[in-house]
Chains A and B, each alone.
Chain A
Amino acid sequence: MSERAAKITPADDEQHDDQIADGAAPDAATETDAESERTPVTTGAEAVVRALENAGVEYAFGVQGGAIMPVYDALYDSDITHVTMAHEQGAAHAADAYGIVSGDPGVCLATSGPGATNLVTGIADADMDSDPLLALTGQVPTEFVGNDAFQETDTTGVTTPITKDNTFSSDSDRVGTDVSEAFALAREGRPGPTLVDLPKDVTNGETDREPDAPRVPDTYEVQERADSDIVAAAAERIETAARPVLLLGGGVIKGGASEACREFAIEHDIPVITTMPGLGSFPEDHELSLEMAGMHGTGYANMAITHCDTLIGIGTRFDDRLTGGIETFAPDAEVIHVDIDPAEISKNIHADYPLVGDAETVVEQLSEAVDSSPEATKWRAQCQQWKSDYSMAYDAPTDGPVQPEFVVEALDEATSDHAIVTTGVGQHQMWACQYWTFTEPRTWVSSHGLGTMGYGLPSAIGARLAADDDQEVVCVDGDGSFLMTLQGLSVAVRENLDITVAVLNNEYIGMVRQWQDAFFEGRHSASDYHWMPEFDKLAEAFGAKGFRIDDYDDVAESIDAAVAYDGPSVIDVHIDPDANVYPMVPSGGDNGQFALTEDQL
């Protein structure tokens, strides 16, 4: 790639076309015009920002600090909107959510030392969920590196196990390209977080070297199409299956394969199960949908996954929260596994038909190869029977305390089909999975693999900025989770972000309480949060709108008002403190043996 080619952005091309249409400037003059529009890069920091601009970055989330100051100085003159967060963890989560909703890597910035280490949770979260994320961290000047200088941390060392790739940038002439490459790597193939560590002397250093366009290094190869022989064998297996299911994971959404999977399932009448990250890949109001399987998945999804004879897993890594005990996971099934990452194949569950490739491409390959639909009328009837046997229902007597499921359904009701839901981690997250009816991809933003409490509010901020204007953003949070990162409310208020936070407040670390009741003889060690603040008043103190729900009479009215409010609002929903999440597969248990009540555990 020549330097000249890298400099010409789409905007320049447009201008170029206009001028040719006008019959105006010849090529040489056009080039001069295009170049003169962009101030040449003079420092490493400007090269960093230019690399982000070239990549089409619109928003960056971060916190200012000593070692990252040169980059912020360069951002001052850029059209990139920087969103100052109240804590770097929030910056990483906001960027992560931005990446989930938009599909392009979210960008977060932090200074060296504590700034960088505060990003670590968010980076690890993105790594576990394969979310595209680019983290840029300041570093002490190269001559101090390794001396335990003020605010120094071995950031690349700390983040090696939790990044797809990271780089210590050591050259002002190269730093822009390092950032371009990291951006491309975060998005390409199986997405994930990348990091570039930026020593202050490198960003302050002089350079006239424009960054190369975002492209991955030559050693990074992604296989797009699966082996056609295995596709043919898998297709034959599908045609002859008696009890087939499709299992759609987060990779379906990330790979833009939701539409292809829908068409495939509907054409061949195959029941569909999703993993938690796969929520939204298939409409849950469709007859073929059995919703989510796993620890707190529906009874019918867990029955189907246990009894199927052909499991077509797409973009899933067979996490233990999905599989339960390996020995009893889909024990009669031949497994067809589609994944873009070869290392996922047979990592946890042996794949009888390994299909390495891009989800959308491989599903299209399968579509072409499958000539006849499986004869599975009986199986589909069985799945429907399980749907009625194990229906997701709850009692909500109006004279009793408010049930959390009711609140989730009311929020779903009050918003459109393409509203985005973000959550923290805990019982509230599971109720959101179970009782929100997801129909569209990229509308579910949650911390799946790492299970990061506090993820909800900062991710709502990132999701809001990536979402369409008419897309509501609702954060279903728990009291304990919300308390961990609620300083982000200051950001939501400053930016006037239209977010509705519903805190399902039971004054417990509820999931821990549920496990203590089930497995620790009800000894509520450190899980009783009776000291919770009044979140509606706290919201008002931040300048947000506060609501409080104590009984069923308040639910509809408060939710409508909060959703209608143009800005951040917080509903402190006092739910039944004893409510628990069912069904439940105990950790490492048999998915088919899910408990429906506490005494079945």
Chain B
Amino acid sequence: MKRGLDGPAPEERPTPAGRRNKQGIRIDPEVEATHEPRRTVISALVEHEPGVLSDVSGLFSRRQFNIESLTVGPTEDEDLARITIVVEEPDPGIDQVEKQLRKLVPVISVRELEPDAMRRELALIKVEADRPDQVAAVADMYDGNTVDSSPETATIEVTGARQKIEAAVDTFSQFGIREISRTGTTALARGTDQTAAFGTAQPATEANHDRQSTQSADDD
């Protein structure tokens, strides 16, 4: 017995001309367009209490956000901590990251930093010390400090933007790398532009960045 309801069959029904892309945005079906991922830094000021880091990291893992690094540390106020997150997502994803973060009760403020924000990472690179002079020369090239040395190894500390660290790691690899430890990016907005502050639940506006310095200290 055929079951179901009466009415015109699917192929007899009109269909609209429009289409949306995977991100739910209406598009011209002729020109399929989606946002490409981009890398950006998001800074969150949070209450310094147990569980907040797991709240934040859990949020990222269960929503499948593509996170590159996450650093956390105390701030000028002992009750607050700053979490700096580098994400690589299309624009709608970055928007969601910010909105979802704001939903967490211990999160005070969230913003995406301007491309010119100061971004720094620290890396410890332990290499073979067969050619100590050359290691020292390379360390010098990247403003690195040798923080430990032994007859077999030398450990160099390098700080800078991600690209600089990557270049340093690349160059050091000629000596044979034993181990690397990197902190992930931490960042602050430039000049008087506030990175994240109380009462900025909504995204900061682009307007009037009163910068003390226009010279980029960042090597991006």
Contacts and interface: CB of A to CB of B under 8 A. Distances in A.
Interface in A258-284: none
Nearest to A344: B99
Interface stretch (B103-111, B127-135, B212-220): B103-111
B4 A221 contact: no
Interface stretch (A59-67, A387-395, A487-495, A537-545): A387-395
A220 B105 contact: yes
Contacts of B96: 343, 347
B55 A160 contact: yes
Interface stretch (A102-110, A299-307, A437-445, A520-528): A299-307
Main secondary structure of the interface of A (DSSP, over half): loop
Interface string A323-354: 00011110111100000011101111110000
Interface stretch (B9-17, B67-75, B160-168, B185-193): B9-17
Contacts, number: 125
A599 B10 CA distance: 11
Contacts of B7: 299, 389-391, 596
B183 interface: no
Interface stretch (A79-87, A476-484, A586-594): A586-594
Q: How large is the interface on A (under 10, 10 to 19, 20 to 34, 35 or more residues)?
A: 35 or more
B100 interface: yes
B95 A346 contact: yes
A350 B9 contact: no
Nearest to B5: A596
Interface in B118-168: none
Contacts of B104: 165
Interface stretch (A248-256, A368-376, A565-573, A574-582): A574-582
B19 A597 contact: no
B102 interface: yes
Interface string A205-245: 00000000000010111000000000000000000000000
Given A299-B5, A597-B2, 10 more contacts: A221-B201, A318-B24, A326-B20, A327-B22, A350-B26, A389-B8, A390-B5, A391-B5, A598-B4, A600-B10
18 contacts: A156-B51, A157-B54, A160-B54, A161-B62, A168-B51, A185-B105, A299-B5, A299-B7, A306-B15, A306-B16, A327-B20, A329-B24, A334-B26, A345-B99, A346-B92, A349-B24, A578-B3, A592-B15
Closest 10 CB pairs of A and B: A597-B4, A331-B18, A343-B99, A349-B24, A350-B25, A390-B7, A332-B18, A596-B5, A593-B10, A165-B105
Interface of A: 156-157, 160-161, 164-165, 168, 185, 217, 219-221, 299, 303, 306-307, 318, 326-329, 331-334, 341-343, 345-350, 389-394, 578-580, 582-583, 590, 592-600
